[in-house]
Amino acid sequence: MSSILKPTSLVLSSILIYSPSVAAADPCPLLQAAVSCQPLELILNRQKADYPVLAKVLAEPEKYQVQILYTRVEPDTTEPRLHYYHYQVDPNRYFYPASTVKLPLAALALQWLAEQQTLLLNEDTIMLTDIARAPQTAAHRDPTALSGLPSISHYIKKILLVSDNDASNRLYELLGQEYINEQLLQKGLSNTVINHRLSVPYSDDDNRYFNPVRFLSTDGNVILQLAERQVSDSYRNSQQPKLGIAYYKGGELVAEPMDFTLKNRQSLNDFDGVIKRIILPELFAPEQRFGFSDSQRSLLMQYMRTMPRHSKNPEYPEQEYPDSYVKYFIFGGQPERIPDHINYYNKNGQAYGHVIDGAYIEDTKEGIAFFLTAIIYTNENQILNDDTYETDTIGQPFMRELGDLIYNYQLQLKRTQQN
- CB neighbour class for 408 (10 Å; exposed up to 12, middle 13-18, buried from 19): middle
Could you read off the pLDDT of 210-235 as tens digits, one per residue?
Answer: 999 999 999 999 999 999 999 999 89
Q: Is residue 9 part of a domain?
A: no
10-residue mean pLDDT series, the chain (419 residues): 33 30 50 76 90 97 97 82 94 96 98 97 98 98 97 98 98 98 97 98 97 97 98 93 97 98 97 97 95 98 98 96 97 94 98 98 96 98 97 97 97 86
Residues forming beta bridges with residue 213, ordered by sequence position: 129, 226
Q: What is the pTM of this model?
A: 0.92
Task: Look at residue 30 in the predicted model and tell me its pLDDT.
Answer: 54
Would you state the pLDDT for residue 49?
A: 86
Q: What is the pLDDT of residue 32?
A: 54
Classify residue 230: in a domain, yes or no: yes
- Alpha carbons 328 and 356: distance in angstroms, whole number: 8
Q: b/e map of 5-21 (b: 16 or more CB within 10 Å)? A: bebeebebeeebebeee
* pLDDT at 8 (0 to 100): 29
Query: Is 131 part of a structural domain of the chain?
Result: yes
Q: Give the total number of structural domains in the chain.
A: 1
Helices (runs of H) and strands (runs of E) counted in the chain: 10, 18
Q: Which of these, 182, 186, 181, lies nearest to 285 by C-alpha position?
A: 186
Strands 229-230 and 209-210: antiparallel
Q: Is residue 1 part of a domain?
A: no
Range of the domain at 228: 34-418
Give burial (CB, 10 Å; 0-12/13-18/19+) of 372: buried
CATH number of the domain to which 233 belongs: 3.40.710.10
Query: Residue 18 domain-assigned?
Result: no
β-strand 252-254 against 246-249: which pairing, if any? antiparallel
Report the alpha-carbon distance of residue 270 to residue 356 in Å, rounded. Answer: 13
| Bridge partners of residue 72, in order along the sequence | 83, 370
Q: What's the CA gap between 284 and 369, in Å, rounded?
A: 19
Burial of 314 (0-12, 13-18, 19+ CB in 10 A): middle
Residue 15 within a domain: no
Residue 5: predicted pLDDT: 37
**Is 140 a member of any domain?**
yes
Note the pLDDT of residue 23.
35
Q: Tell whether 20 is covered by a domain.
A: no
3-state secondary structure of 391: helix
Enumerate the H helices of 187-329 as residue ranges. Answer: 204-207, 268-279, 294-305
